[in-house]
Amino acid sequence: MRTTRTVRVRCRPRRWSQRAGVHVGTVAKISRVYAERGGDVEATISRKQRLTPLVEPKVTGEVEARLTALACSSPPEGHARWSLRLLEKHIALVEDIPDLDHSTIGRILERGRCVLILKQCWTIPPKANGEFAARMEDVLDVYARPHDPNTPVVGMDEKPYQLVGHPRDPIPAAPGRDRTEDSEYVRHGTCSIFVWVEPLAGRRRVIASPQRTSVDWAQEVEHLLTSTTPTPTGSCW
């Protein structure tokens, strides 16, 4: 009498996920598809054939561009700015843009980094617009100068920075898992970061100081002019 033996192969999804560098859920999903398709490797890794015809998307690149341009234009009279509901009502009256609900409009604008609630502020003083713009044009003219080692164009600035630490050690990243850090932090004081950069020469200097005073600023300028700049005849700031 002939008997049939059933051989079971034990699958260890976590072990294979670590070896392949993928999430354990991916291994489990592929294993399930492999079993459902009768152990056919080609059928497992190939895409499932579509049973229904492809539907053309309503939102094309042209529609996104027109919607973004509309959201960036001036709102109708009586409204301070465009809202998602207002855009939905306005689009319903436009023939060459398909009807879209406000949630879809919000996703399209978010994908194009167009946020309706944001506004842009200018740093031009209201009583000195002409003078301020003229001086800014002078600065831009300096930035546009060609590279001249004898007259370097150097920019310098400083930034306050808060020093923080972790109350508990972070969990390092692993295959299928990102680095994990605690939401809490421990303060370790503050410092000031001084930076000067000469883009056309590919040079920069970054130094951290425990404080920011006029003396610290003067010392950095002195170091820039006497130690790091190769004997220039002049400099532009």
> What would the DSSP string read from start to end of 111-166?
HTT--TT--------TT-HHHHHHHHHHHHHHHTSPP-TTS-B-EEEEEEEEEEE-
The closest of 74, 113, 70, 64 to 90, measured between CA atoms, is 70
**pLDDT reported for residue 126:** 64
Give the residues across from 174 on adjacent strands: 177
**pLDDT reported for residue 8:** 47
Task: Please count the other Cβ atoms lying within 10 Å of the Cβ belonging to residue 93.
Answer: 7
Sign for the CA dihedral angle at 23, 29, 30, 31 comes to positive
**pLDDT reported for residue 230:** 54
**pLDDT reported for residue 115:** 67
Let me know: does 60 contact 54? Beta carbons within 8 Å: no
Q: How many residues does the chain have?
A: 237
Strand (E) positions, the chain? 155-165, 186-198, 203-209
Which pTM does this prediction carry? 0.42
**pLDDT reported for residue 7:** 39
**pLDDT reported for residue 191:** 92
Structure tokens at 67: 């919607």
Residue ranges, the chain, pLDDT below 70: 1-11, 113, 115-129, 228-237
> Could you give phi then psi for residue 174, rounded to 5 degrees?
-145, 165
Look-up of token digits 């950069």:
197
